[in-house]
Chains A and B, each alone.
Chain A
Amino acid sequence: MSRYNLSRLSVLVVEDNKYMRKIVHTVLEAMGITDVNTVDNPIDAIERIRDYRPDIMITDWMMEPINGIELVRAIRDEEKSPDPFLPIILLTGHAEKDLVLQARDVGVHEVLTKPISIGALYKRIVTLVEHPRPFVRRPDYFGPEPRQKPRPAA
């Protein structure tokens, strides 16, 4: 695999579990990404995106008061979102195909299964860099052009 200098990227991590936030932050730092911002709930995430303008958002799925899928839906709302094109990686404890499809259908770029693998997260970020997908605007969807066959969560 090629070597990438990711140090100029900024990442927002949305995760309600403080320990998991710390794990993701630590792994990102090991990749050389030091500009990491974290929030513990999806409601604050929208405001943080507005203020901080991250290059990538990594979000958990299971959260309150809205879950990660609902957060992605809000971000892809072109009229209200501060950054509808934001590249998004969704973390989930489940790798079932229907959940991966659900994530794809709301406009998630990449899905990653917890416990997170350092290599898998790195590869997801590299994919966002090397293979940016065009966005599609349809009456029923706004988001990255879906892959023909969704990649299973790693």
Chain B
Amino acid sequence: MNQQRSHETIMPPRRLADKVSRGDGPELSDIVARAEAALEVMKDDYTASVHEDLAAFYAALDAIKASRGEIRAEALKRVYQVSHDMRTQGKTFGYPLITQIGSSLCDFIETHGEAAATRPEVIDAHGGAMRAVIAAKVTGDGGAIGQKLVSDINALVAKAVKKLAAAD
């Protein structure tokens, strides 16, 4: 009996299906087209939002360079949050390079934790690359320019990883 009481299965009281009818809604392709058209209109706002994000990014980077201890750790967290937000939005608005560069920085911070703050040049390079992508409106994979940006970032990260390993 106790065993039975320790594992109960309950049907939720509310059924979403009662509020949804089938067959008379839009096709998924129409939904995608409608959403993409609405997101296209938001593109200008997106560019403005990236500038706001980059301002917050560089304010946090300045704090990393100027501080130590908890304040620096907080600033690094802020850099991570802004980069995380930027990476989750770039691809949606046709800027997959922003997503790629933002992901690279997030990975670097996730992997190295607070030690990432000892390599501000890596953070700076990621910010600079994202700024360049937006300033030059480099959409899609950016062709040769995009690949050069990404390979430069990768090379810098690899160098920093070696220095961090040597410092351990």
Residue positions of A touching B, CB distance < 8 A: 1-9, 17-20, 22-23, 26-27, 29-32, 55-56, 62, 85, 87, 93, 114-116, 118-119, 122, 128-130, 132, 134-139, 145
A-B contact count (CB 8 A): 127
Contact A3:B26 (CB < 8 A) given known A22-B42, A30-B31, A137-B8: yes
Q: Mark B8-40, 1 if CB is under 8 A from A, else 0.
A: 111111111101111111111001101110110
Max chain B C-beta neighbours (<10 A), residue from A4, A116, A134? A4
How far, in whole Å, are A17 and B27 apart by their CA atoms in the complex?
Answer: 29
Set of chain A residues within 8 Å of B92, measured between Cβ atoms: 23, 115-116
Q: Would you call B25 and A6 a contact (CB within 8 A)?
A: yes
> Please, which residue of chain B has its CB at the minimum distance from the CB of A91?
B88
Given A114-B87, A136-B8, 11 further pairs, Cβ under 8 A:
A6-B25, A23-B39, A26-B39, A31-B26, A85-B12, A85-B13, A114-B89, A115-B92, A122-B31, A128-B16, A137-B8
Within 8 Å by CB of B84, from A8, A93, A128, A138, lies A93
Using Cβ atoms and an 8 Å threshold, which residues of chain A touch B87?
Answer: 93, 114-115
Cross-chain contact A31 with B31 (CB below 8 angstroms): yes
Q: Which residues of A contact B162 (CB under 8 A)?
A: none
Asked if A115 contacts B12 (CB within 8 A), the reply is no
Contacts of A4 in B (CB 8 A): 20-22, 25
We find that the number of chain B residues with CB closer than 8 angstroms to chain A is: 44
Q: Do B25 and A3 touch (CB < 8 A)?
A: yes
Given A19-B49, A30-B31, A134-B11: A55 and B16 interface contact (C-beta under 8 Å) = yes
B111 at the interface (CB under 8 A from A): no
Residues of B within 8 A of A87 (CB): 16
- Please determine whether A23 and B89 come into contact, CB atoms closer than 8 angstroms: yes
Whole-angstrom CA separation of A23 from B45 in the bound complex? 11
* A137 to B11 alpha-carbon distance, docked (Å): 11
B99 — nearest CB in chain A belongs to which residue?
A115
Give the complex CA separation of A8 and B14 in angstroms.
Answer: 14
Contact mask for chain B residues 67-92; partner A; CB cutoff 8 A; 1 contact, 0 none: 00000000000000100110111111
**With A and B bound together, what is the CA distance between A56 and B12 in angstroms?**
13
- Chain B residues with Cβ below 8 Å from A138 are 6-8
Question: In the bound complex, do residue A135 and residue B27 qualify as a contact, i.e. CB atoms below 8 Å apart?
Answer: no
Of B22, B27, B32, B49, which contacts A118 at CB under 8 A? B32
Residue B46 interfacial (CB < 8 Å): yes
Give Cα distance in the complex from A39 to B148, angstroms. Answer: 40
- Which residues in B have their C-beta under 8 angstroms from that of A137? 7-10
Query: What separation, in Å, do the CA atoms of A20 and B125 have in the docked complex?
Result: 25
Collect the chain A residues with CB atoms within 8 Å of residue B161's CB.
Answer: none
